[in-house]
Amino acid sequence: MGKGKEKKRVTKRARSEFLWGWMFILPTMTGLMILNIIPIIQTIWQSFFKTGAFGRGNIFIGLENYQRLFADDSIWQALINTFKYAIVEVPFSIAIALVIAVMLNSKMRGRSTYRAIYFLPMVVAPAAVAMVWKWLFNSEFGLLNHILNSIGLKSVHWLSDPNIAIYSIAVVGIWGVIGYNMVLFLAGLQEIPRDYYEAAEIDGANAFQQFFKITVPLISPTMFFVVVTRVIASLQVFDSIFMMIDKSSQALPKTQSLVYLFYRYAFVENNKGYGSAIVVLLLMIIMVITVIQMVAQKKWVHYN
């Protein structure tokens, strides 16, 4: 009995380390609760209510918002638009960033300057980025159409044509996130020992073989992180659509995302209950996709 009590006894030092550990994580836990956990619970709860202007007159309606959600054609169209954007933005932004990172990881002159240039879009305000690209895409006097006209091609309605507007928005997303992905890939590349490449060169492996046999497998944990974060971010696209597509444009129904619809219903039409249901739908979609990615990563991510 005496030995059992000694095993359960906690030393003063262990107690102190335990308390200090909680003190260090308390600010993060507090921020997580206030800024993330509590708003998620409030949003789920509010999705069961019909709300009036400024949140007044809340009426419990159960699952009516979700019944309306699945019968709403605009929701399904927005879901398609969101996936179109993600399917274009995610793979292209990752592939281009990886190629640039590999180039800048080599012993090239001025690589620090190039790194800063590629990362620059990340520190520019989204509103400024949207305004610049909106001018570039302008169908009458935009730079892109000026270039097309100078080589004998017709002007393209980049932001007003319902068939291509969402892809134009995706181009802006790709341009804006390449620098962030590049920095992450550079961090992963610099962790790969040079001995592997030197041994591969001795064995006669060319640059492409080294890339696919050494670089890609060893950088796969970083790539997995980038893929997960980019998929989540792309499914929440809003600012570029809001800033670049005119509210009266025929392209708006073919470009508005789920988050855009949430904004419209919650803050323009003051129906925060229905807007909350849209957010819950998006949350469930993100959770399902993330779980699939977590399961699939066991087959292609190498941690050793």
Which range in 15-19, 101-105, 112-116, 236-240 is most confidently predicted, on average pLDDT?
236-240
Question: Is 22 within a domain?
Answer: no
Please say whether the beta carbons of 234 and 227 come within 8 A. Answer: no
Residue 218 lies in a domain: yes
Domain membership flag for residue 82:
yes
User: Considering the domain boundaries, does residue 29 fall inside one?
Assistant: no
Comparison of pLDDT for 12 and 278, the residue scoring more: 278
Alpha-carbon torsion angle 259, 262, 263, 264, nearest 10: 120
User: Is residue 271 one of the residues assigned to a domain?
Assistant: yes
Residue 9 pLDDT > 80: no
Return phi, psi of residue 301, to 5°. -95, 130
Mean pLDDT to the nearest integer, 287-292 = 95
Task: Give CA–CA dist 156/226, Å, rounded.
Answer: 33
**pTM as predicted:** 0.87
Q: Are strands 59-60 and 49-50 parallel, antiparallel or unpaired?
A: antiparallel
Output 274 or 12, whichever has higher pLDDT: 274
> Is the predicted pLDDT of residue 3 greater than 60, yes or no?
no
Check residue 115 and give its pLDDT.
Answer: 77
CATH at residue 152: 1.10.3720.10
Residue 50, strand partner residues: 59
pLDDT value at residue 289: 96
Q: Which domain holds residue 214?
A: 73-300
**Main-chain dihedrals φ then ψ at residue 43, nearest 5 degrees:** -65, -45
Question: Which pLDDT does position 15 carry in this prediction?
Answer: 82
Phi/psi-derived region of residue 103, left when phi > 0, alpha when psi is between -120 and 50, beta in every other case? alpha
Q: Is residue 17 part of a domain?
A: no
If one counts the domains in the chain, the total is: 1
In terms of Cα–Cα distance, which of 280, 272, 175, 285 is closest to 235? 285
Whether 59 maps to a domain, the answer reads no
Please give the full DSSP string across the chain, using - where no structure is assigned: -HHHHHHHPPPHHHHHHHHHHHHHHHHHHHHHIIIIIHHHHHHHHHTTEE--GGG-S-EE-TTHHHHHHHH-HHHHHHHHHHHHHHHHHHHHHHHHHHHHHHHHHSS-TTHHHHHHHHHGGGGS-HHHHHHHHHHHT-TTT-HHHHHHHHTTPPP--TTT-TTTHHHHHHHHHHHHHHHHHHHHHHHHHTTS-HHHHHHHHHTT--HHHHIIIIIHHHTHHHHHHHHHHHHHHHTT--HHHHHHS-TT-TTGGGT--HHHHHHIIIIIS--HHHHHHHHHHHHHHHHHHHHHHHHHHHHH----
Tell me the pLDDT band of 1, cut-offs 50, 70 and 90. Answer: very low
pLDDT at 100 exceeding the cut of 60: yes
Give domain status of residue 149, yes or no.
yes
